[in-house]
Amino acid sequence: MPRINVLDSSVYNLISAGEVIERPASVVKELFENAIDSGADRVTVSIAEGGIREISVTDNGCGMDEENLKKAFLPHATSKLAVASDLDSISTLGFRGEALASIAAVSSSKIVSRERGSESGNVVTAEAGKISAVEPCGAPEGTTVTVSNLFFNTPVRARFLKKPAQEEKAITDKLVALVLANPDLAVTYIADGKTVFSTSGGFENAVYTVYPNDVANNLIWFDERRDDGYRVYGYTGKRELTRHNKSLQTMIVNGRTVSDKTIETAATQAYGGSLMKRSYPVFVINLILPFDDVDVNVHPAKNEVRFRQPNKVFSAVYRAIEKALASEARYFALDGAQPMQSAQTRQDEPAPAADAARGAVQTLSSSGSQPAPDAGKAPTYAPKPESKDSEAWRKAVERQRERVEQTTIFTHSLYKPQTKVAAPHAFTMTSERKNEESETFREIDDMLARGYKVIGQIFNTYLVVEQGDKAYLIDQHAVHERILYDAFKKAIDERKPLSQPLLVPYILDCDAAQSEFVAKYSDRLSRLGFDIQPFGAQCFKINSVPEVLTDINLGAFFAKLFEERGKIDSYKNGDMIDDAIATRACKAAIKGGDKLTDSQITSLLDGMKDGVPLQCPHGRPTTFAFSRKDLDKLFKRIV
């Protein structure tokens, strides 16, 4: 049997250092958090060669006297804990008592400190873990910790360091998170003699200091306080503000920057279908909760935490972000613009409100049922009172109405089911009936536009619309897809989903946990449009499904539902089927390549009573706006 050796301190300190100090950014984090715990309101961080050659952190905190300075580099020495019960409610950041000892073990380190009210300061040094005697020196109130030649005595660790520029970026990212977690601090960050940023205190100031303007200007403030002591506040990005990685996601729990999957997932899912695949939102989330509801002592570097009630955390974050996003405009209005200076463009009173797909899609109902009374009915427009020839306008309006009513605009095939259902009749897109063209009809088409002018369609995919001093390029498929998605989602949110009976019931086989889940939420699933009945041991028979889900793979749908069952209580009104709704809307919408006439385009745009949506259900943009000035710059008319 191999002999058991009791390791020398020079060995076990190096092992401990490996757990706490991964790279220069780890040193900066530990020293910065110690500065915060000292009560400082000003901190200066200076690095050289990506922190490999030197790191210096200076604060104006309480400082240390000679006696405390002697203990600073000792292992397991901390001012934050005294007895074991203190671990149950940790409110400080650097509490483990390992950081300074670990840093000293793998570097040349020096601490200069002067306690508040003292006439002089003291200095202590450490070289590869060997600590010098404390000596008096002149120093300002506060503490300066300098760490040089990191990993000089552990060449294997040194070889795994990145180039100085990459290590500097890691430090910058870490400091950005620390500044956002402690916005009241005035922080100065210097790299190789140059000031990277300097904050003067305040959350908004911190955001504009560490983020570029294109990010800071597209953040939404939120602050949700709950009766149970939870508070979620910070900034979250608008739907169009995304990145291809998670570098601009900052999570803070009780003042501590962490990496946490529960918070990240809740925030991301609050965006629903607004995010494109492989796109990530930008957010700064501060979560304040009772100290005994979170365990911060689960990771040597304190980068992770464990929540006593993760579902509660998920719900709090999800609803805070969801509410913030709900306050953001998701549409732009074409109604109400000033009349254009054009003989062909006229502005009329808005048509009466109609359904989301008014005049653009036919109302589809289940087999054997009749369409709604107003389905497909063209809106009525009255001529302007000051018209020179009211009778001509009246006749033109009547002929225009007749032309629209006889045209099936944007009808489509909704049903291509994988599951055999009793599906309603399918429809196909038809061309508009040819009518005699005249100047009067062209003017009527423009009058129907109510303040905007349809320029036309390009590549049978994109619509061009002019309004005021702006032109809009609109993706016809994406914008129509959003209309259908919102209509489907509204039916579910209002608990009015249509059910579709299956010709052959679907048998759902479950394990014990899944069976318990289905039984527990059978009422909720019923409200969404499912008809589910027990069918033997751990089996269920599905007789009907929500009308919007008739073309999905039920096995895959329930597999995803079971995967998310631990979080389902945090979802609102059946958000777990959003993806299925988006898929359905995509199949039903007008496709790229479908040729549309000006009146069809007008009917589509006029059907958007809430305005033109800015994103499709999958997060793609639907619209781009160009001003006259933008085009003048493009063609060098102005510089």
Tell me the Cα Rg of the chain.
Answer: 32
Task: Give the Cα separation of 168 and 173 in Å (integer).
Answer: 9
> What is the mean predicted confidence (pLDDT) over 572-600?
71
**Phi and psi at residue 219, to the nearest 5°:** -105, 150
CA distance 311 to 307: 9
Q: What is the pLDDT of residue 331?
A: 66
Kindly report which listed range (104-118, 330-344, 387-401) carries the lowest average pLDDT score: 330-344
| Over residues 541-557, mean pLDDT | 80
**pLDDT exceeds 80 at position 35:** yes
- Report the pLDDT value the prediction gives residue 487, as an integer from 0 to 100: 76
Least confident of 134-148, 186-200, 256-270, 292-306: 292-306
- Between residues 553 and 333, the one the model is more confident about: 553
635 or 550, greater pLDDT: 635
Give 620's pLDDT tier (boundaries 50, 70, 90).
confident
Question: Of the given ranges (3-17, 45-59, 163-177, 576-590), which has the lowest mean pLDDT?
Answer: 3-17
pLDDT at position 478 over 70: yes
User: Residue 339 — pLDDT band, cuts 50, 70, 90?
Assistant: very low
Topology of domain 498-572, CATH: Ribosomal Protein S8; Chain: A, domain 1 (3.30.1370)
Q: Predicted confidence band at 169 (pLDDT cuts at 50, 70, 90)?
A: very high
pLDDT computed for residue 94 by the predictor: 46
Residue 149, pLDDT score: 95
Higher pLDDT pick, 298 / 58? 58
| Residue 575 backbone dihedrals phi, psi, to 5 degrees | -60, -15
pLDDT bracket for residue 165 (50, 70, 90): very high
Identify which of 63-67, 92-96, 190-194, 484-488 has the greatest average pLDDT.
190-194
| HEC profile of 568-618 | HHHCCCCHHHHHHHHHHHHHHCCCCCCCCCHHHHHHHHHCCCCCEECECCC
CA dist 419 and 109 (Å) reads: 69
| CB neighbour list of residue 217: distance below 8 Å, 6 or more residues apart | none
The pTM score is 0.58
Q: Which two tokens stand for residue 505?
A: 């019931």
For 414-427, the DSSP string reads ----SS-B------
Interval 98-139: pLDDT, tens: 678 889 889 999 999 999 999 899 999 999 888 999 999 999
Question: DSSP labels for 497-528?
Answer: PPEEEEEEEEEEE--HHHHHHHHHTHHHHHHT
Token couple for 479: 């914008």
Q: Domain spanning 9-204: which superfamily?
A: Histidine kinase-like ATPase, C-terminal domain (3.30.565.10)
Q: How far apart are CA 485 and CA 479, in angstroms?
A: 10
* Segment among 147-156, 425-434, 629-638 with least mean pLDDT: 425-434
DSSP one-letter code for 202: S
In the numeric block, which tokens belong to residue 200?
């003067």
What CA–CA distance (Å, rounded) separates 279 from 260? 18
Q: How confident is the model at residue 468 (pLDDT cuts 50, 70, 90)?
A: confident
Question: How confident is the model over 300-304, as a mean pLDDT?
Answer: 62
| 3-state class percentages of the chain: helix first, strand second, coil last, to nearest 5 | 35, 20, 45
pLDDT at site 7: 57
Token pair recorded at residue 515: 């069976």
Q: Which has the minimum average pLDDT: 206-220, 254-268, 366-380?
A: 366-380
Strand partners, 612: 332
Q: What was the pLDDT predicted at 284?
A: 95
Which pLDDT band, with edges at 50, 70 and 90, does 631 fall under? confident
pLDDT at 343: 30
Q: What whole-number distance in Å separates Cα of residue 91 and Cα of residue 288?
A: 11
Q: Which of 254, 238, 347, 337 is closest to 293 using CA atoms? A: 254
Q: Show me where the domains of the chain are located.
A: 9-204, 211-326, 332-488+588-634, 498-572
Strand partners, 500: 545
For position 584, what pLDDT does the model report?
64
β-pairing, 294-295 with 54-59?
A: unpaired
pLDDT band at 37 (very low <50, low <70, confident <90, very high): confident
Average pLDDT, the chain: 75
pLDDT of residue 78: 54
pLDDT of residue 611: 78
Query: Which DSSP string corresponds to 16-62?
Result: HHHHH-SSHHHHHHHHHHHHHHTT-SEEEEEEEGGGTSEEEEEE-S-
Mean pLDDT of 512-527: 84
Q: What is the pLDDT of residues 264-290, one digit of tens each?
A: 999 998 887 778 778 899 999 999 998
| Spatial CB neighbours of 182, under 8 Å, sequence gap ≥ 6 | 36, 255
Using DSSP, state whether 630 is helix, strand or coil.
helix
Could you write out the DSSP letters of every residue in 313-349?
A: HHHHHHHHHHHHHHTS--EE--TTPPPPS-TT----P
- Residues 215-234, mean pLDDT to the nearest whole number: 92
More confident: 308 or 11: 308
* Helix or strand holding residue 463 (H, E): strand 462-467
In this predicted model, which residue has the larger pLDDT, 58 or 390? 58
User: Three-class SS of residue 635?
Assistant: coil
Number of neighbouring beta carbons within 10 Å of residue 386: 6
User: Are 296 and 302 within 8 A, CB to CB?
Assistant: yes
The CATH number corresponding to 332-488+588-634 among 1.25.40.340, 3.40.50.11540, 3.30.1540.20, 3.40.50.300 equals: 3.30.1540.20
User: Measuring CA to CA, which residue among 21, 39, 279, 36 is closest to residue 153?
Assistant: 21
Between 450 and 216, the more confident residue is 216
Are 178 and 257 within 8 A, CB to CB?
yes
Q: What is the pLDDT of residue 171?
A: 96
Instruction: Reply yes or no on whether the pLDDT at 140 is more than 80.
Output: yes
pLDDT of residue 424: 36
More confident residue, 76 or 597: 597
CATH of domain 211-326: 3.30.230.10
List the Cα angle 565/566/570 in 5-degree steps: 95
Rounded Cα–Cα distance for residues 208 and 191 (Å): 20
| Three-class DSSP labels, 203-261 | HHHHHHHHCCHHHHCCEEEEEEECCCCCEEEEEEECCCCEECCCCCEEEEECCEEECCH
Rounded CA separation 97/103 (Å): 11
